[in-house]
Structure 1
Amino acid sequence: MVSSTDITSRIIEAVLAQRLAPGTRLGEQSLSMLFDCSRTLVREALVRLAARGIVTVSSRRGWYVVQPSHEEAREAFEARRVIETGLIRSTQHVDKAALKRLRQHLKQEQAALKGDDVGQRSYLLGDFHVCLAECLGNQLLADTLRDFTARTTLIAMLYQSNHDAVQSCQDHVDIVAALERGDSAAAERLMAAHIGQVQAALRLTNPSDPLADLREALAPVREASSAAASTTPATNKRGAKKTPSLPPSDTYLGALL
C-alpha cells in the first residue's frame, strides 16, 4: 500500500533525475491513478512538497513543479554553500565505513557517466551531496540538502546549465580524497569551488530589454521593408536614385512599447 511519503520520495527522485521539468503540472487525479491511491494521499504528499519548496499550487492551474526565479536560484546555491562547507568544517573525523560508502557512491557515478541513462547520472551526482551529509553524521542536514539539491537541479534545467557532468564527478572524487587524508580544510575549499562552478555555469543574465522579442515581432512590416529599401536605394526611370519614404513615426508600434 503506497503512502504519501512514498509519493513524496518518488517525486523528489524524479526531479533529481531531471525527469520532471520546472513548471510540470501535477494533477491530483492523474497521480492517484498512477499510484493507485486516493486523492487525499496525493494531496497530502503535494502539501508536504509545497512546504519543502519543490511544488507550488495555484487556484487556477492546480499543483505544479516550481520554477525558481533568478533571486531564488542565487539563494538556493548560497544556502547549499553555507550548509555543505559548514558541515565539512565541523567534521573532525570520517570513519572507515563512511568513506567506504562514499567511495561506492563514486563508483556508481563513474559507471553512470559511461552509460546512456542521463536521469540516473543526474540523480547520482545530486545524491552525492545527500550521501555526504549522511556519512558525516547529520541526517537532518541530509534531508535539508535533498530538498535544496532538488531545487538546484530544477534551476539547472530552467536556466540551461552547461556544467560538465564528468567534471562534477571529479570534484566529488577530490572532495572524498581530501576527507580520506583528514584534510577537512581542503575538502571545504573544494566543496565551495564545486558549488560555485555549478552556479557559474547557469545562464542567469537578464536581457537588457525585457520587451525586445515582443518589440521586434510587433514592429510594422512596412518598417522592415523601408529598412531594406534604405540599404538598396531604388532608381527611377531616368536612373536617378529615389529617396525611400519612411512611415510616420506615430505609426511605429515599437515606439509605443
Structure 2
Amino acid sequence: MDITRPEPERASGLVIEEKIIRAVLSGRISPGERFGEKELCEIFGVSRTLVREAMIRLSSKGLVDVTPRRGWFVIEPSVPEAREVIEARRAVETGLIMDHERVDRTAILRLRRHLVAQENALAGQDLARRSYLLGHFHVHIADVLGNSVIATILENLTARTVLIAALYQSDEDAQQSCHDHAALIEAMDRGDRDAALRITRDHLVHLERALRNRARSNRHDRLHEALA
C-alpha cells in the first residue's frame, strides 16, 4: 500500500479519506488491494475509530468494501458497475457544460496547462501520474468553472473510473482520452457548446466501448488459458 505519510500532526477522518482517494486516482493503490486497520492507524497516527469513519465514507462512495474474511479492500468494478459510473459521469459532465456557454481566458489557460502535464506523463510512460491526470482533468474542469460541489462529485466518480481503467484501459485508450481532452478544450475556447457536448458524449462512449472490448478480450484470454 502506497499512501504518503501525512504531516506530524494527527490526521482527521476527512484527511484519511482524501489521501486514499488521491492514491486511487494516481494508480498507487490498485483494485483489490487490502487495507489493514492497524496499518492505517500507524500510517496516519489516529485511532481505529477515525480510520473506520473514513473507510465507511469511502464505502458509501463505492471505492472500498469490507468482508469478514478480507477486511477493507479497494473494489474491483464489474462491467455493469463500470457502465453505471460512466452513465453518472455523462449526466454530470454534460450538465456542467450546458450551464457554461462561455469560458473565460484564465480557465482555458489552466485547462491547457493541465493538458500539457497529461501529454508529458504519456510521453514519459509515467503510468501513475498518467492515471491521475487523465482522471483529474474532469474534476479540474469543474474547478476552473467555479463549481466545487460538482468537482467533489466528479472526484468520486473519476476515482472509480481510474479503478475501471486499471482493469480495462490500454495505452491506446489513454492516448485517445488525452486527444479527446485537447479537442474539448478547443471547443470550449471557441465557445462552441454543441461541439463540447458532442466531444464529452463521444469521449464517454469511447470509454464504454473500450471497456466492453477489453472485458471481452480478457474473458477470451482466460478461457483460452484454461482450456488450451
Which of the five TM-score ranges fits, normalised by the shorter chain?
0.7 to 0.9
For 1:69-88, what aligned pairs fall within 5 Å after superposition?
69-88=78-97
Between the aligned partners of 2:108 and 2:132, the Cα distance in structure 1 is: 20
Between the aligned partners of 1:21 and 1:42, the Cα distance in structure 2 is: 19
Q: TM-score with structure 2 length normalisation?
A: 0.85
Pair 1:54 & 2:63 matched:
yes
User: 2:135·2:161 contact (CA, 8 Å) conserved in 1?
Assistant: no
Where relative contact order (Cα < 8 A, 6+ residues apart) is larger, the structure is 2
Pair 1:16 & 2:25 matched:
yes
Pick from 159, 169, 173 the counterpart of residue 168 of structure 2.
159
Deviation of 1:100 after TM superposition, in Å, equals 2.0
Between the aligned partners of 1:115 and 1:36, the Cα distance in structure 2 is: 35
Greater helix fraction, Structure 1 or Structure 2: 2
Matched with 2:5 is none
Of residues 144-153 and 159-168 in structure 1, the stretch that sits farther from structure 2 once superposed is 159-168
Between the aligned partners of 1:74 and 1:162, the Cα distance in structure 2 is: 20
User: 2:32·2:75 contact (CA, 8 Å) conserved in 1?
Assistant: yes
For 1:88-103, what aligned pairs fall within 5 Å after superposition?
88-103=97-112
Shift in alpha-carbon separation, 1:211–1:159, aligned structure 2, 3 A: same
Matched with 1:204 is 215
Rg bigger for which structure? 1
Matched with 1:194 is 203
Secondary structure of the residue aligned to 2:35 is coil
RMSD over aligned CA atoms reads 2.2
Query: What letter corresponds to residue 76 of structure 2 in structure 1?
Result: Q
Shift in alpha-carbon separation, 1:200–1:211, aligned structure 2, 3 A: closer
Shift in alpha-carbon separation, 1:168–1:213, aligned structure 2, 3 A: closer
For 1:38-49, what aligned pairs fall within 5 Å after superposition?
38-49=47-58
Between the aligned partners of 1:102 and 1:134, the Cα distance in structure 2 is: 10
For 1:1-257, what aligned pairs fall within 5 Å after superposition?
1=9, 2-161=11-170, 163-202=172-211, 203-205=214-216, 216=227
Between the aligned partners of 1:212 and 1:186, the Cα distance in structure 2 is: 42
Query: What letter corresponds to residue 18 of structure 2 in structure 1?
Result: S
Query: What letter corresponds to residue 157 of structure 1 in structure 2?
Result: A
Following TM superposition, where does structure 1 have runs of at least 4 consecutive aligned residues deviating by more than 6 angstroms?
210-214
Q: Number of residue pairs matched? A: 215
Between the aligned partners of 2:172 and 2:210, the Cα distance in structure 1 is: 5
User: 1:162·1:201 contact (CA, 8 Å) conserved in 2?
Assistant: no
Q: Percent identity?
A: 50
User: 1:163·1:198 contact (CA, 8 Å) conserved in 2?
Assistant: no
Shift in alpha-carbon separation, 1:38–1:192, aligned structure 2, 3 A: same
